[in-house]
Structure 1
Amino acid sequence: MKIVLIHGQNHKGSTYHIGRMVAEKTSPEGTIAEFFLPGDLNHFCTGCYACVEDVTKCPFYEEKIRIMREVESADLLIFTTPTYCLRESAQMKSFMDLTFNYWMSHRPRKCMFSKKAVVISTAAGKGAKKAAKSVANALFYWGIPRIWTYGICVQAMSWDGIRSRKKQKIEKDISRIAGKVLRKEHVKAGLRTKGLFLLMRMMQKANLGSGEADRAYWETNGWLAKERPWKQ
C-alpha cells in the first residue's frame, strides 16, 4: 500500500505522531511519502484564476504538482492538522485553496473516486473535530468516497506532554480506525458522491460551469456521455 501524509504544520507534534501511527498500523511495510506545510508549499492562492484556463499556469504549479503526483498515485491519504482558532491550520486551508481545480465542480481526477483518506486533528482545547471535518469536506469534493476523521482534545502543547492515559485512548482509537481502513480494501463511490458528480455534470452540460476548459475536460473524459469516474 502506498500512503501519502500531508501535514498542516512543519513541526512534529501531537497531530503528526497520530498521523504516523495511522500509517504504521495500516501499512507497516508500505511506501510512505510525507509533505509538510508550509515547508513544501509556502503560498496562498492569489485568486488569479489562471488554473481555470490551464492548470500549468498556476504560479505555484511546479511545487503543487510535485505533491499532487504523489497524491494521485497513493492508495491511502492521511491529512494531519493542528487546530488553530477552532479550525484547520492556515497552511492546510491554503493547500485546499490551491487544489480547488480538483473539485468536482471543475476537473476531478478519476483516481480520487477509489481512494481512502484519514483526517487527523488535535487541539489543546476545543475544535479538533470541526477542523478535521472541514478538511474532510474538501476531500469529499475531490471525489474521495471514504474518509475517516479523528479529532481529539489532547490537553497538552506537545506529544510528550500528553498524559499516558490519553495516549492509551489514542492508541486504541487509531487501532480501530486502522482496522476499518484495512477492511475496506476496495472502496466505491456512494450515493452522496455520485449525486454531487451528476449535479456538476448537469451544470457542465448546460454550460453553467467555470468555462470552456473545464467543459472540454469533462467531454474528453466522456463524462458528459455515459462514462463515469467510478467503476460501473
Structure 2
Amino acid sequence: MKTVIIHGQNHKGSSYNIGRALANKIATENEITEFFLPRDLNHFCLGCYKCLESETKCPFYDEKHVIESAIESAELLIFTTPTYCMRASAPMKSFIDLTFINWMPHRPKAYMFQKKAVVISTAAGAGTSKAIKDITTCLFYWGIPYIKTLGFSIQAMSWQEISASKKQKIEKAIDKLCNELKKVKKPKVGFRTKFIFNLMRMNVNNKELISTPLASDYWHWHNNGWFDKKRPWL
C-alpha cells in the first residue's frame, strides 16, 4: 500500500516510531515516503492570499508541491505529531495553514476523497485528543473520508523510556488498526462530508465571484463539473 508519512517534528521520537511501525506493517520500504516538518517545509503562512489567485503563486509552492504530489499518488496518509502545549506541533499547524486552499470552501482536490488517513500523537501526559483534532479537522475539510486516530499517553520523555507493558499495548493497537486498514479497499464518503461539500458548492456557485479574488475557486468547481451532477467521490 503506497504510503506517505508526514511527521510534525524533525526528531525520531515516540510519535515517529509509532507511525513508522504502522507503515512498516502495511507497506514495503519502497512504498513509503516520509516528510519531516519543519525540515521539508520550514515556513509560516504569510497571509498574502496569493494562493487565492493560483496555488502556484504561493511563495513556498515548490516545497509544498513536492509533498502534495506524493500525497496525490499515495493510498494511505499517516500524520504524526508530538503533543506540545495540548496541541499539535507548530510545524504541523504551519503545514495545515499552508494548505488551507485545499479545503472544501475553496479548491478541494478530487483525489482526496479517495484517501485513507491515520493521525498519531503521543504525550508524556494529557492532550493527545486535542493535538489529533487539529489535524483531523484539516483532513475532513480536505475531503478525506476515512480517518483513524491513535493517541497515547506514554508517561515517558522518549521512546526508549516507555515501559514494556505500554509498548505491548501500543503494538496491539497498531496491529488492530493495520487489519482495519487492509480491509478497506475503497473508502466510503459519509453523509457529513457530502453535506459540507454540497453546502460549499452552493456558496461557490455564484458568478459574481468571477470578478473577485475568489474567481479561481469558482472556476475550479466549474471545471471539475461539480456545479452539475459530477462529484469527486463517484
Normalised to the residue count of structure 1, the TM-score between the two structures is 0.97
Match of 2:36 in 1: 36
SS at match of 1:155: coil
Shift of 1:27: 2.0
Supply the distance in 1 between the matched residues of 2:22 and 2:208 (Cα, whole angstroms). Answer: 40
2:216 to 202, 213, 217: 213
Question: Number of aligned pairs?
Answer: 231
2:19–2:78 Cα contact (<8 Å) kept:
yes
Shift of 1:29: 5.8
AA paired with 1:192? R
Supply the distance in 1 between the matched residues of 2:56 and 2:29 (Cα, whole angstroms). Answer: 34
Match of 2:165 in 1: 165
Supply the distance in 2 between the matched residues of 1:102 and 1:218 (Cα, whole angstroms). Answer: 12
Match of 1:11 in 2: 11
Residue ranges of structure 2 left out of the alignment (5+ in a row) = none
CA RMSD of aligned residues (A): 1.3
2:118–2:149 Cα contact (<8 Å) kept:
yes
SS at match of 1:118: strand
2:124–2:157 Cα contact (<8 Å) kept:
yes
Match of 2:70 in 1: 70
Residue 207 to residue 163, structure 1, CA distance change in 2 (3 Å):
farther
Match of 2:233 in 1: 230
Match of 1:110 in 2: 110
AA paired with 2:230? E
1:3–1:30 Cα contact (<8 Å) kept:
no
Residue identity over aligned pairs, in percent, reads 58
SS at match of 1:160: helix
Match of 1:123 in 2: 123
Instruction: Give 1:25-64 correspondences, 5 Å limit.
Output: 25-28=25-28, 31-64=31-64
In the TM superposition, structure 1's runs of 4+ consecutive aligned residues that sit over 3 Å from their partners are 206-210
Give a deviation string over 1:86-130, Cα, whole Å, max 9, x none: 000000000000000110011111100010000000000110122
The reply to whether residue 94 of structure 1 matches residue 97 of structure 2 is: no
Residue ranges of structure 1 left out of the alignment (5+ in a row) = none
1:133–1:149 Cα contact (<8 Å) kept:
no
Instruction: Give 1:145-184 correspondences, 5 Å limit.
Output: 145-184=145-184
Match of 2:84 in 1: 84
SS at match of 1:22: helix
Supply the distance in 2 between the matched residues of 1:187 and 1:32 (Cα, whole angstroms). Answer: 20
Supply the distance in 2 between the matched residues of 1:205 and 1:107 (Cα, whole angstroms). Answer: 13
